[in-house]
Amino acid sequence: MDAKELIEKIDKARHLADVLSPAGIGKQYKEAAKLLHPDRCRLAGAGAALARLNQLKEIHEKGIPFVDDAGEFRVFGRSAVFGNLGAMHDVSYRNFRLLSTHGDEASEHFRRYLPRSMDPGRGQMPLRFPHRAIPASGLTLPQEHVNWVLSRMLEFCAWLSQIGYVHCGLNPESVFIVPETHGIMVVSFYHLCRKDSRMKTISAKYRNWYPAEVFSRKRALPAVDLELCKRTAACLLGDRSGLGIKFKKTHNKDFINFLLKRHTDALACYDEYRMLLRRNFEQKFYPLEI
């Protein structure tokens, strides 16, 4: 590959694997960096391409940092690593094990929304995913993609409710998006409760997203998860407050009214949303490039 081809490839790359093959990345990187070095390459865009290549390499090696309720974690495409393990990570791991080993037939299907593995040890807890997964945190997506993300979240909540649980912490850091399959991964379970039990913790960062009755009744009810799902969807549309009111004049009316409506039954909410999608949007697969 010559320098011009390499620059074009880097310009289009979203990940280091788009430029270098997984085998022998170190050697390939040195060769590419040498080819683009200012002392050897006078092509326009060579400097920017080298800077981008270095950025992709750093992300590949160190991951992208995020912060959730228990501290910093890093994302590496098909894995994430939670560090500085503490009591909250212990709770999350126990709840993950509880959900991932649930034995009824329906749970076989819904475990696709859980990480493939979660392995605490040596001060870190790596999570593995079957596909590349990206935190919803900081993302802004077009309506057609928010549509399916919300559908997956509501389906997940309906399953939890069916087996007797409420997540109580669905937000842009706990929900990862799987672009290639239009799926999601729920990666943390710090606040999971038995349905109708007393809630002991919430996500402090998203305190304002919880229904008001959480602070008076403190009960883990499906309405909590449903509200958090809708707030996350509004955030993905571009309203970081999670309200979505500002979209009333710019987005589909039925969709925004759905976000603002109160729901208490997870399965009924999911069914209502699926009918809304069929009435208002074309049923097709929209590739997501992120």
Please give the residue that has the higher pLDDT: either 36 or 255.
255
pLDDT at residue 62, rounded to an integer? 85
> Are 219 and 198 spatial neighbours (Cβ–Cβ below 8 Å)?
yes
* pLDDT score of 177 more than 90: yes
114 vs 289, which has greater pLDDT? 114
Per-residue pLDDT averaged across 236-241, rounded? Answer: 96
**pLDDT tens-place string over residues 22-42:** 777 888 888 888 888 888 888
pLDDT band at residue 49 under the 50/70/90 scheme: confident
pLDDT of 183 reads 96
Confidence of residue 139 (pLDDT cuts 50, 70, 90): very high
The predicted model gives 56-73 an average pLDDT of 90
Check pLDDT > 90 for residue 138. Answer: yes
In this structure, what DSSP letter does residue 83 have?
A: E
Least trusted range by pLDDT, from 109-123, 219-233, 266-280: 109-123
Instruction: Note the pTM of the prediction, 2 decimals.
Output: 0.88
pLDDT tens, 184-209?
Answer: 999 999 999 999 999 999 999 999 99
* Average pLDDT, integer, range 62-70: 93
- Spell out the domain ranges in the chain: 3-62, 66-290
Residue 57 pLDDT > 90? no
- pLDDT score at 34: 87
Token pair 């080819």 in the structure block, residue: 35
Report the pLDDT value the prediction gives residue 179, as an integer from 0 to 100: 94
What is the assigned CATH class of domain 66-290? mainly alpha
Per DSSP, the residues of 131-189 read: S--EESTT----HHHHHHHHHHHHHHHHHHHHTTEE----STTTEEEETTTTEEEE---
| pLDDT recorded at residue 42 | 82
